[in-house]
């Protein structure tokens, strides 16, 4: 799948390279660098670049480095991108920071990891905790292992044997991010919910976990539709530990979990969503040089729900002078480096309305025109809503079964956050 991996500095110089298939030349890096420079000038950069010579470049940037995969075959690009992200994650696990200096200081470990994680261009083992069993950071202290590593012999490559805890617990967080775009007339142009089930597992042995959700497809197959609120999830993606055949058969989410933190499942909903926090901004011009904003924030949640850590980022013209703001709740601060007034409300109860008044002077006629002709960036909103999900997803049960028979404590939390949540100004 992958012909070669290169790690480059921003000038395109090779720091580390690993050729897996021998079907590309190192000179392809020069072609990649020239392509990057060419596309940057046209503002057409994408994470995948195809060369007319039949070579595809898939890359990501991190800490002033390019992590580049090169392939000549018709590869699964999403898998290559995922592998590059896992590669960066493993390097950071070993070196704390992935930078040119850390790569040069640990080049022996880097090549060992590249060989273990990918074989003839096909990804193999990408779990940092498993790799650390047999590739130690202090490589010169390693002794020859008598037995092969667990990841090679064990079918469950993401979990080692012999894990023990005094207190067996499993934490599950259902986190949903709301992406919303509202136009200047108050109409919702784009709405989407991106969800993730995050787990922190502290369980002894090799436990079998079973998770039940209020899944619409499952309830309809059991003839229970309409009796309970259900959710219809789209674009479901599971961690590799989930038994996909079992899920396809009877919608049961069954798995042996990795130890520690991991994302069990991600999903998406493209349903119509009304703004959880509605924003209106009225612009008034009492005089030629003075401009006033009236920003009204409405919490359109039910009264029992409360949004916390609310931030409303209101853009101001770059040359606005002496901005002053007053709020009915919370505080407002002008950030000149962002050319924005940031309105912060620690706790915003459902069904409430709060206001901010801001006035400033504009010495520039051009800035006045931009503010009146709708060229200003949109208002951005950030928030968290604990104990609440937009989709209505519910964990019906989370069972832990282990041969020793211990009782595990499951904890479940729900939270909704703002993703890309924007409101265009009048």
Same domain, 267 and 293: no
The band of 364, judged by pLDDT with boundaries at 50, 70 and 90, is low
* Structural domains of the chain, count: 3
Biggest CA-to-CA distance, the chain: 83
Domain limits for position 406: 169-273+390-423
Mean pLDDT, range 99-116, rounded to an integer: 88
Coil, strand or helix: which one is 357?
Answer: strand
Residue 161 lies in a domain: no
Closest CA to 28 of 38, 17, 39: 17
Closest CA to 20 of 33, 3, 6: 3
Position with higher pLDDT, 233 vs 147: 233
Closest CA to 292 of 302, 304, 283, 300: 283
Same domain, 189 and 148: no
Closest CA to 320 of 296, 291, 288: 291
Q: Are 298 and 307 in contact (CB under 8 A)?
A: no
What is the CATH classification number for the domain harbouring 359?
2.60.40.1170
Reading the block at residue 296, the tokens are 């009204």
pLDDT of the residue at 155: 56
Same domain, 306 and 341: yes
Same domain, 199 and 250: yes
Q: Are 368 and 362 in contact (CB under 8 A)?
A: yes
Last residue of a domain, one of 108, 124, 153: 153
- Among the listed ranges 34-48, 90-104, 156-170, 357-371, which one has the minimum average pLDDT value? 357-371
Same domain, 148 and 174: no
Residue 98 lies in a domain: yes
Residue 123 lies in a domain: yes
Q: How do 409-423 and 169-182 pair as beta strands?
A: parallel
Residue 163 lies in a domain: no
Same domain, 20 and 108: yes
Say whether pLDDT at 271 is over 50.
yes
Percentage of the chain surpassing pLDDT 70? 90
Classify residue 311 by burial, with Cβ atoms within 10 Å: 0-12, 13-18, 19+: middle
Q: Are 274 and 300 in contact (CB under 8 A)?
A: yes
Position with higher pLDDT, 152 vs 93: 93
Last residue of a domain, one of 107, 122, 153: 153
Same domain, 300 and 186: no
Residue 162 lies in a domain: no
Residue 96 lies in a domain: yes
**Which residues partner with 17 through β-bridges?**
6
In sign, the C-alpha dihedral spanning 100, 102, 108, 109 is: negative
| Integer Cα distance of 377 and 50 in angstroms | 33
Same domain, 222 and 335: no
| Integer Cα distance of 36 and 44 in angstroms | 9
Same domain, 97 and 177: no
Residue 159 lies in a domain: no
Last residue of a domain, one of 153, 184, 212: 153
pLDDT of the residue at 43: 62
Residue 160 lies in a domain: no
The single residue listed with the structure tokens 């109409």 is: 187
Cα–Cα distance list, 224 to 170, 221, 248 (Å): 29, 8, 19
Same domain, 179 and 137: no
What is the CATH classification number for the domain harbouring 127?
3.30.450.60
Say whether pLDDT at 307 is over 70.
yes
Q: Are 260 and 201 in contact (CB under 8 A)?
A: yes
Same domain, 139 and 101: yes
Containing H/E element for 177? strand 169-182
Q: Are 67 and 80 in contact (CB under 8 A)?
A: no
Cβ neighbours, 10 Å, residue 403: 9
| Integer Cα distance of 338 and 283 in angstroms | 20
Same domain, 234 and 177: yes
Say whether pLDDT at 333 is over 50.
yes
Say whether pLDDT at 156 is over 80.
no
pLDDT of the residue at 164: 94
Q: What are phi and psi of 131, to 5 degrees?
A: -60, -35
């Amino acid at each position: 799948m992958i012909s070669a991996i290169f790690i480059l500095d921003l000038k395109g110089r090779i720091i580390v390279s690993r050729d897996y298939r021998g079907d590309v030349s190192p000179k392809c890096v020069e072609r990649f660098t020239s392509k990057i420079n060419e596309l940057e000038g046209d503002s057409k950069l994408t994470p995948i670049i195809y060369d007319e010579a039949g070579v595809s470049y898939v890359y990501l940037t991190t800490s002033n480095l390019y992590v580049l995969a090169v392939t000549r075959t018709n590869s699964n690009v999403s898998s290559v991108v995922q592998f590059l992200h896992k590669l960066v994650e493993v390097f950071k696990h070993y070196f704390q920071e992935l930078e040119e200096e850390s790569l040069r200081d640990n080049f022996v470990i880097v090549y060992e990891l590249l060989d273990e994680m990918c074989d003839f261009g096909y990804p193999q083992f990408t779990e940092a905790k498993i790799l650390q069993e047999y590739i130690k950071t202090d490589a010169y202290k390693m002794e020859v292992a008598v037995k092969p590593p667990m990841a090679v012999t064990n079918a469950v490559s993401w979990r080692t044997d012999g894990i023990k805890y005094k207190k067996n617990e499993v934490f599950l967080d259902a986190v949903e991010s709301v992406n919303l775009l509202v136009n200047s007339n108050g109409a919702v142009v784009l709405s989407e919910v991106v969800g993730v089930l995050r787990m922190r597992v502290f369980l002894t042995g090799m436990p079998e976990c079973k998770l039940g959700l209020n899944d619409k497809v499952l309830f309809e197959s059991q003839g229970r539709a309409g009796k309970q609120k259900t959710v219809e999830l789209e674009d479901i993606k599971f961690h590799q530990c989930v038994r996909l055949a079992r899920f396809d058969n009877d919608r049961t989410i069954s798995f042996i979990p990795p130890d520690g933190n991991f994302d069990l499942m991600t999903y998406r909903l493209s349903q119509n969503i009304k703004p959880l926090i509605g924003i209106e901004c009225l612009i008034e011009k009492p005089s030629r040089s003075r401009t006033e904003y009236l920003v009204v924030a409405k919490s359109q949640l039910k009264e029992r729900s409360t949004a916390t850590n609310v931030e409303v980022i209101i853009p101001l013209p770059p040359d606005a002078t002496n901005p002053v703001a007053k709020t009915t709740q919370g505080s407002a601060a002008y950030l000149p480096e962002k050319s924005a007034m940031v309105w912060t409300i620690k706790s915003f109860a459902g069904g409430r309305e709060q206001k901010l008044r801001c006035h400033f002077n504009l010495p520039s006629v051009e800035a006045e025109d931009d503010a009146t002709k709708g060229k200003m960036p949109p208002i951005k909103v950030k928030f968290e809503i604990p104990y609440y999900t937009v989709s209505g997803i519910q964990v019906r049960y989370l069972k832990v079964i282990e041969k020793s028979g211990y009782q595990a404590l499951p904890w479940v939390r729900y939270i909704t956050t703002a993703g890309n949540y924007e409101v265009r100004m009048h």
